[in-house]
Amino acid sequence: MKVINKMRLTVPAKSVNESFLRAIAGCFAAQADPPCDVISDVKTAVSEAVTNCIVHAYPSSSGEIVMAAKLTSDGVLYIKISDKGRGIADVRQAMEPLFTTSTSGERSGLGFTVMQQFSDGVAVRSKPGRGTSVTLKKRLISPDAEKKSDRKGR
Partner 1 sequence: MLIKIALDRVTVYLSGEIDHHEAARLRPQIDDALMRKRPAEVELDFSDVTFIDSSAIGLVMGRFRVIEAWGGKVAVSGLTARQKRVMKLAGLDRIAEFRESEKGDNTNESDQQNASDGSGQVG
Pairing of β 76-83 and β 131-139: antiparallel
Residue 43 binds partner 1 (CB under 8 A): yes
- Interatomic CA distance for residues 124 and 94, integer angstroms: 10
Tell me which H or E stretch contains 57: none
**Could you say which residues in the range 68-107 bind partner 1, by CB under 8 A?**
97-98, 104-107
Active site annotation includes 92 = no
> Helix, strand, or coil here: 139?
strand
Which amino acid would we find at residue 16? Answer: V
Choose, by CB under 8 A, the member of 35, 121, 128, 143 that binds partner 1: 35
Active site annotation includes 17 = no
**Contact region with partner 1 (CB under 8 A), list: 15-23, 59-67, 69-77, 81-89:** 15-23
Active site annotation includes 48 = yes
Residue 18 binds partner 1 (CB under 8 A): yes
> Helix, strand, or coil here: 145?
helix
Sequence-ordered strand ranges (E) for 3-130: 3-12, 64-72, 76-83, 121-127
Residues engaged in binding partner 1 (CB under 8 A): 15-16, 18-19, 22, 35-37, 40, 43-44, 47-48, 51, 54-55, 97-98, 104-108, 110-111, 113-114, 117
